[in-house]
């Protein structure tokens, strides 16, 4: 009886564990669409990493409504400073967002005064308060008792543009006491001042983005007069809209480029004004904000207005256009997206600033006059903790948190990559390869595959060598046996038979094509077989090339596209070449051009399967050998192709190349005519349909 009870308890325990891992987690209710971007750059559903916890208004604090609040700042003791611009006051809140005090009056030698149009504020290590007052055209520095210490105005310097008015928007002070000021309309970067207000220069100006329009205008300027050049559009760097300071003293800036389609909107600047915030091991600037654009009555793009770096070095970026917060790690990997436009809790109408407070994120809405507090969910906490451990190189410790996060979101490539790296460090290379493949991480997959391959060869060395010897020896043995059985038929089969003539051309590309033209041994049936095999080889190459060397999305293989890129191009070439060469005394008929061109594809067909197999056996570092083999095949095909065109039309080499060039132009012309005809047909169809509908409505 006791044994049955113990067995029953074990069964219940096992069932509970199975249900824990099998049952999908319940999604918390949020008033916005929760999504992320996958490795292919398209948006996909994501379990919410953050959810709105509370909303704080001026009425909740007992100070009346906020009026156009502009800025938030986190103090060193986790106090929060809110700049209530419309009411010309500063509210100081504790960590629980309860009111500590209200600041509206300041003091200087002439007596008390108020701010005019404050836009930004911050504190330094000594507790001094800095306020950027756009209305006064100055930056004020106050002590703890709100007495004015320093007043910073527009500096008098040769490097300062006299046409730019000093309208300070944001202010920041680093650990050394250097003051950074963002001025509206200034493209030279941030103004920098010493602690006593002395002008030091500019810091971190953006560079002009090179575009096609810029290159075109540079060319035109060479032919213009001085007056015309002065009236031309000026290309100047994009100004910063906000900045923040991390715990290590690095300054993060945020900009909005004109088309918002260029990377590097958020930058991490060192003391030399160099951006050191890159994505991946190969330095490249990352793109921040939404990758997809929304088309309504206008094009909606991300409008980034604020940046913040929390205590664990996560980068939070605020999109005012869509009311969303984008969170990234230090490698610019997207961790979470939350928030959205609207009037519900967790949405915003005009978000202007954000600040982190521990794991919570505070978003300030100018129109609503409120602070929305976002707190991480269990999924968000697990993903953040796993990311921190991963960045520290503690992959095995991060594994537990990644597996917990995976229970909530199985499609997040950040989670898959972290699990793969942990398995790799544990020596579980096959599991690591599986997760690297899910994360589309080819570099990590290559490293895990190299270790797995080394282990496999050590364990099965004799079997591997036996197979290798058999592969090299088998063709020679088969050929020797065949020659012994058919001593006089080999030459006849290889050199006379129509079926074997395409292979004969591979061994004799110079005289073989002339023999094919002279003897007329080409076969339309064989050419159709070759075209079918060519199509099949393209499918095989698309689908089965080794993951490391295959950039294709296997779940989106389109046979119509492959058909157009093979048979469609082949038919276009045949038609265009026949038309062009008929006008240039070419000797080839349409049938001969079709056969000759199809026979040149044999080398590609023979090489495809071996190259696909080899691509599954090499690592990323050994890819040069695969590229060399592909280059040899391409060169071989090029020689066969040129000799085929030369032989079919009886051209010399110069005329052959000229005819190939004209044929390519003819192919483009055919495509243009077809597209134009289809477009005109659609327009005519729409016009006739509209007329018919009008007639029917009037009857």
Q: Residue 439 is part of a domain; what is its CATH number?
A: 1.25.40.10
Residue 639 domain-assigned? yes
Task: Kindly state the greatest CA–CA separation across the chain.
Answer: 117
Residues 365 and 404 in one domain: no
The stretches of 158-205 forming alpha helices (DSSP H) are none
Predicted confidence at residue 420, as pLDDT, reads 92
Residue 220 domain-assigned? no
Residue 498 and residue 521: Cα distance in Å, rounded?
A: 6
Contact 241/268 with Cβ under 8 angstroms?
no
Q: Of 425, 452, 484, which marks where a domain is finished?
A: 484
Residues 586 and 446 in one domain: no
Contact 68/444 with Cβ under 8 angstroms?
no
Q: What is the pLDDT of residues 408-462, one digit of tens each?
A: 888 888 899 889 988 998 889 999 999 999 998 899 999 999 999 888 888 877 7
Asked whether the predicted pLDDT for residue 16 surpasses 50, the reply is no
User: Over pLDDT 70: what percentage of the chain?
Assistant: 85
Residue 276 and residue 269: Cα distance in Å, rounded?
A: 6
Average pLDDT, the chain: 84
Residue 317 domain-assigned? yes
User: Over pLDDT 90: what percentage of the chain?
Assistant: 47
Residue 79 domain-assigned? yes
Q: What is the pLDDT of residues 608-623, one digit of tens each?
A: 999 999 999 999 999 9
Residue 212 domain-assigned? no
Burial (CB < 10 A; 0-12, 13-18, 19+), residue 328, is buried
Contacts of 57 (CB under 8 A, 6+ apart): 65, 66, 368, 369, 370, 371
Strands 370-376 and 50-57: antiparallel
Q: Residue range 180-189: average pLDDT?
A: 88
**Torsion angle defined by CA atoms of residues 66, 67, 72 and 74, in that order, rounded to the nearest 10 degrees:** -30
Averaging pLDDT over each range in 2-16, 81-95, 236-250, which range is the top one? Answer: 81-95
Nearest-5° angle of CA 328, CA 181, CA 305? 35
Domain count, the chain: 3
User: Residue 449 sits in which domain range?
Assistant: 388-484
Residues 359 and 454 in one domain: no
The alpha-carbon radius of gyration of the chain (Å, integer) is 35
Predicted confidence at residue 223, as pLDDT, reads 60
Q: What is the pLDDT of residues 208-248, one digit of tens each?
A: 555 555 555 556 566 666 665 555 545 446 788 899 999 88
Helix (H, G, I), strand (E, B) or coil at 665: helix
Residues 318 and 171 in one domain: yes
Asked whether the predicted pLDDT for residue 115 surpasses 90, the reply is yes
Least confident of 42-51, 115-124, 374-383: 42-51
Asked whether the predicted pLDDT for residue 109 surpasses 50, the reply is yes
Say what angle helices 602-615 and 524-544 make with each other, to 10 degrees.
Answer: 20
- The CATH number for 371's domain is 2.120.10.30
Predicted confidence at residue 258, as pLDDT, reads 54
Q: What is the pLDDT of residues 455-484, one digit of tens each?
A: 888 887 777 677 767 766 776 677 677 667
Strands 106-108 and 99-103: unpaired
Residues 517 and 417 in one domain: no
Predicted confidence at residue 257, as pLDDT, reads 64
Least confident of 20-29, 86-95, 509-518, 619-628: 20-29
pLDDT band at 11 (very low <50, low <70, confident <90, very high): very low
Instruction: Tell me which residue of 78, 177, 66, 187 sits closest to 130, measured CA to CA.
Output: 177
Predicted confidence at residue 9, as pLDDT, reads 40
Residue 695 domain-assigned? no
Q: Of 428, 456, 484, which marks where a domain is finished?
A: 484
Q: Of 455, 484, 513, which marks where a domain is finished?
A: 484
Of 41 and 606, the structure prediction assigns the larger pLDDT to 606
Q: In this structure, what token pair is assigned to residue 30? A: 């949020």
Residues 401 and 346 in one domain: no
Residues 554 and 638 in one domain: yes
Residues 365 and 301 in one domain: yes
Look at phi and psi of residue 500 and say left if phi exceeds 0, alpha if psi is from -120 to 50, else beta. Answer: alpha
Residue 8 domain-assigned? no
Residues 284 and 140 in one domain: yes
Predicted confidence at residue 487, as pLDDT, reads 60
Residue 444 domain-assigned? yes
Residues 271 and 338 in one domain: yes
Residues 463 and 332 in one domain: no
Residues 345 and 396 in one domain: no
């Amino acid at each position: 009886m006791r044994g049955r009870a113990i067995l029953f308890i074990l069964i219940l325990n096992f069932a509970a564990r199975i249900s824990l891992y099998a049952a999908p987690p319940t999604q918390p209710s949020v008033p916005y669409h929760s999504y992320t971007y996958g490795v292919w750059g398209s948006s996909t559903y994501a379990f919410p990493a953050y959810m709105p916890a509370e909303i704080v208004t001026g009425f909740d604090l007992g100070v009346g409504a906020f009026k156009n609040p502009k800025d938030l700042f986190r103090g060193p003791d986790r106090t929060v400073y809110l700049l209530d611009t419309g009411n010309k006051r500063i509210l100081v809140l504790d960590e629980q967002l309860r009111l500590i005090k209200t600041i509206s009056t300041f003091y200087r030698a002439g007596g008390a005064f108020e701010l005019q149009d404050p836009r930004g504020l911050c504190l330094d290590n000594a507790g001094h308060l800095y306020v950027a007052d756009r209305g006064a055209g100055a930056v004020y520095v106050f002590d703890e008792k709100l007495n004015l210490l320093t007043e910073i105005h527009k500096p008098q310097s040769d490097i300062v543009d006299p046409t730019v008015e000093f309208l300070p928007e944001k202010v920041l002070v680093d650990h050394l006491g250097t003051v950074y000021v963002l001025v509206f309309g200034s493209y030279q970067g941030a103004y920098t001042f010493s602690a006593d207000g002395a002008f030091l220069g500019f810091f971190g100006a953006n560079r002009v983005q090179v575009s096609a329009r810029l290159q075109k205008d540079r060319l035109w300027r060479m032919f213009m007069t001085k007056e015309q050049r002065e009236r031309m559009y000026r290309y100047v760097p994009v100004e910063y809209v906000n900045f923040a300071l991390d715990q290590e003293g690095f300054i993060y800036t945020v900009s909005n480029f004109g088309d918002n389609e260029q990377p590097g909107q958020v930058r991490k600047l060192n003391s030399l004004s160099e951006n050191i915030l890159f994505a991946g091991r190969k330095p490249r600037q990352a793109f921040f904000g939404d990758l997809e654009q929304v088309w309504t009555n206008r094009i909606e793009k991300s409008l980034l207005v604020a940046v913040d770096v929390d205590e664990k070095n996560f980068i939070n970026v605020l999109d005012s256009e869509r009311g969303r917060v984008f969170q990234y790690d230090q490698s610019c990997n997207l961790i979470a997206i939350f928030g959205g436009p609207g009037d519900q809790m967790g949405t915003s109408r005009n978000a202007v600033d954000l600040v982190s407070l521990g794991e919570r994120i505070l978003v300030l809405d100018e129109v609503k006059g409120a602070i929305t507090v976002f707190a991480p969910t269990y999924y968000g906490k697990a993903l953040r903790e796993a990311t921190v451990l991963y960045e520290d190189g503690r992959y095995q410790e991060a594994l537990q948190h990644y597996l917990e996060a995976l229970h909530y979101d199985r499609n997040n490539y950040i989670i898959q990559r972290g699990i793969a790296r942990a398995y790799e460090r544990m020596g579980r290379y096959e599991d690591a390869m599986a997760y690297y493949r899910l994360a589309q991480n080819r570099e990590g997959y290559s490293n895990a595959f190299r270790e797995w391959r080394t282990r496999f060869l050590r364990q099965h060395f004799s079997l591997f060598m036996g197979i290798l010897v058999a592969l090299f020896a088998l063709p020679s043995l088969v050929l020797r046996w065949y020659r012994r059985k058919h001593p006089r038929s080999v030459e006849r089969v290889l050199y006379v038979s129509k079926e074997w003539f395409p292979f004969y051309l591979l061994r004799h590309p110079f005289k073989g094509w002339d023999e094919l033209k002279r003897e007329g041994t080409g076969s339309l049936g064989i050419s159709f077989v070759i075209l079918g095999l060519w199509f099949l080889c393209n499918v095989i190459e698309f689908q089965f090339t080794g993951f490391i060397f295959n950039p294709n999305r296997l779940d989106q293989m389109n046979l119509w596209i492959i058909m157009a890129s093979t048979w469609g191009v082949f038919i276009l070439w045949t038609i265009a070449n026949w038309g062009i060469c008929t006008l240039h005394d070419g000797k080839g008929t349409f049938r001969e051009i079709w056969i000759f061109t199809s026979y040149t594809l044999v080398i590609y067909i023979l090489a495809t399967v071996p190259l696909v197999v080899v691509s599954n056996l090499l690592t990323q570092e050994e890819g040069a050998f695969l590229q060399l083999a592909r280059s040899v095949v391409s060169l071989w095909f090029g020689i066969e192709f040129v000799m085929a065109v030369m032989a079919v039309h009886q051209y010399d080499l110069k005329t052959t190349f000229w005819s190939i060039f004209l044929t390519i132009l003819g192919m483009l012309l055919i495509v243009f005519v077809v597209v134009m005809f289809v477009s005109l047909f659609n327009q005519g169809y729409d016009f006739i349909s509209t007329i018919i509908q009008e007639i029917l409505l009037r009857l």
